Structure 1
Amino acid sequence: MAELATLPLFWSLTQKKVVVAGGSDAAAWKAELIAASGAEVHLYAPRAGLGEALLDLLDRGAAHAGGRFIHHDEAWHEDIFADAALAIADCEEDYEAEAFFNAARAAGVPVNVIDKPAFCQFQFGSIVNRSPVVVAISTGGAAPILAQAIRRRIETLLPPAIKRWAMIAQAIRERVNAQLQPGAARRSFWERFVDRAFVDTPEEGVETRLVAEMGRLAMPRPAIGRVTIVGAGPGDAELLTLKAVRALQAADVILYDERISNDVLELARREAKRILVSQPNPSASGRPMAEDGARIAALAKAGKRVVRLQPGNPMATSVSLEEADWLERLGIAVELVAGVDADSGDAAGAAMAVRATDATPGRAHIASH
């Protein structure tokens, strides 16, 4: 796990009390966001000092059915923090910000003073809202404009239908967990679900069809694993093909050697088991080294999705092709995913790796996109 500037958390505020002090537009934006999360927002500011945004917000009410606003026609004071989950304030002067910060901390309430990082225990990120799918982006306060640019990119990538698919997933999750055991069958169901979510709009009766698919996957069947030999190129994670990233994120077990960088491993599924192995070499008889080859075969035969990460391009090395042939002779499905050649590592090489596709009869399937 690489270093984190801050810990990202998603915290339920439904029916929780949150204190917001100040009548400014900035305070209104934070109050609206908090109430949209289902909180009971207590606003402290003299009515004469309320800005138009806050007055409009009080008229409109909260977006969340469980959220609401309670306006207190007075300035904040030290007695307002009891039972609060969060405290937020917009303070013009540092002395007032420090006083609010200290009062909230003394009451044991996490505090944020808007636009004053020195008086913040937590931060607000830029948000992409497809609730119940929520994406938050933070730069640790270093570059808010960058977070906003990232948010705009993500907005274009997430189709509006993701919201409906997420609600369907929420509705059937308990049935999936009851019918499909943890492991390959359950993950296969959700992977197919996700593939649909990024392509289709959920049609009438989709839940019935999903339940039927669950029934088919729940039928006992022999464990069938597979091996994917993935080219990591020259070690730059940004040069991995999309196919390589998908393989890493679907893997149960990842075998790698000391030439693979941590940046590449960071792209793998968190739950995947990672095994450090020796560099692959053919034996005198033309087979892979017995120890690693036997380990890969045993994992695949146990139904695991195994990824063997190798630098460079496995399509261009006799060791990888020989390993693939050997595994296929054992009845194990093998796929080779092309990588940028380690001795080039340039943008042209990356483009060639993305475009090159081959599926030679009698040999492991080779993919590069």
Structure 2
Amino acid sequence: MNQLPIFVNLRGVRVILLGDGEMADAKRRLIERAGGLCVGEDVRDARIAIVALEDESEAVAAVDRLKARGLLVNAVDRPALCDFTTPAIIDRDPVLIAIGTGGASAGLAKALRQRLEAMLPAGLGKLAKALDAARDAIRRRWPGGPERRRAIDAALAPGGPLDPLTDRDENAVADWLEQGGQGVASGLYTLTIASTDPDDLTLRQVRLLGSADLVLHPFDMPGTILSRARADAAMRVDDSEAEESGVVVRLVWAKTEESS
């Protein structure tokens, strides 16, 4: 991961936009859709700038001036000059899915957005709002943070009662709470990995990796497999002596088991 994805609240925020024509118009629509205010370079309280100038030398000079002021700058179609890039967006308010390639290919990001858009139910935003409205009830049902996270993970897993890729009725969250659904229990789970291709992981393996507080792995486990774990999960080369609390996932190679 060579960039940190973040969502910036632009409502009422002044954003410098330089340029005219199709490129600048597209960025203006994006900024205004997010509630931002497009302003010129002379506005001093702006903190973000987008340079949509066709001329290369003019664009480079503008980026240099704006960066010298301490602004974060996006230069359209010039990833080497960018402090940040603008992703392809799927909007299921309040769910917002951003797809970026680090500036490598806007066309690829767009193609992925179009494919993923067709997979996501129109009611996904309603599910998010229902979960938000039930926040206090969820905390009462599962007072402990790790326990609560595991219950939510289980509910949102493929085939779960709140599977986000399946349309549910408006009472789905209330029904789930009433039924007292449980998540992945604390303990040690050993997963046998037979392939370096993450697409070969089973649904159970993906679910456990996504719920893990700690992942123990062989020194030669590929990053492509480890990347399927929670982004904030602790990871450590397996020393076979760990005694940890929470959900601990131990990855082993299939060949290791066969040879033992």
Superposition TM-score, scaled by structure 2 size = 0.80
2:189 paired residue number: 228
Superposition deviation, residue 9 in structure 1: 1.7
State the aligned residue count.
Answer: 255
Question: Deviation at 1:200?
Answer: 4.1
Look up the match of 1:112.
74
Alignment of 1:92 onto 2:54: yes
Q: Once structures 1 and 2 are overlaid, which stretch shifts more, 251-260 or 145-154?
A: 251-260
1-side partners of 2:223 and 2:61: how far apart?
44
Name the CA distance, whole Å, in 2 between partners of 1:103 and 1:239: 49
Match of 1:152 among 100, 114, 118: 114
Larger radius of gyration: 1
Question: What is the one-letter code of the residue matched to 1:181?
Answer: G
Structure-2 residue corresponding to 1:6: 3
Looking at structure 1, the residues matched to 61 and 195 of structure 2 have their Cα atoms a distance apart, in angstroms, of 53
Deviations 1:174-207 (A, max 9, x none): 4434552212244214531453243543424445
Q: Is 2:63 the partner of 1:121?
A: no
Is 1:312 aligned to residue 254 of structure 2?
Answer: yes
SS of 2:254 mapped into structure 1: coil
Q: 1:222-270 CA deviation, whole Å, 9 max, x = no partner?
A: x954543312114343433333222211223333333433332222123
Q: Answer whether contact 1:254 1:308 (CA < 8 A) is retained.
A: yes
Aligned equivalent of 1:161, options 113, 123, 128? 123
1:239 to 194, 197, 200: 200
Contact kept, 8 Å, 2:47 with 2:70, in 1: the verdict is no
| AA aligned opposite 1:184 | E
Alpha carbon RMSD of aligned pairs, Å?
3.2
For the 8 Å contact 1:97–1:119, the answer to whether it is kept is no
- Distance in 1, matches of 2:194 and 2:209, equals 14
2:175 aligns with one of 209, 224, 229:
209
CA distance in 1, matches of 2:145, 2:239: 31
Deviates more, 1:253-262 or 1:162-171: 253-262
CA 205–22 in structure 1, closer or farther in 2 if over 3 Å, else same? same
- What's the counterpart of residue 261 of structure 1? 222
Amino acid at match of 2:34: S
Report SS of the residue matched to 2:132. Answer: helix
Change (3 A) 1:190 1:96: same
Contact 1:18 1:39 survives alignment (8 Å): yes
Provide the residue aligned with 1:191 in structure 2: 154
Where do residues 347-358 of structure 1 align in structure 2 (5 Å cutoff)?
Answer: none
Structure 2 residue aligned with 1:18: 15
Q: Which runs of 5+ in 2 are unaligned?
A: none
1:17–1:217 CA distance, 2 compared to 1 (3 A): same
> Which structure 1 residue ranges, 5 or more long, are not aligned?
43-75, 280-290, 320-369
Alpha-carbon shift at residue 306 of structure 1 (Å): 3.5
Cα distance between partner residues in 2 of 1:259 and 1:102: 43
Contact 1:185 1:217 (8 Å CA) reproduced: no
Question: Of the candidates 249, 254, 261, which is equivalent to residue 210 of structure 2?
Answer: 249
- Scaled by the length of structure 1, the TM-score of the pair is 0.59
For residues 241 and 217 of structure 1, what CA distance do their matches in structure 2 show? 22
Q: Within 5 Å, give how 1:126-145 maps onto structure 2.
A: 126-145=88-107
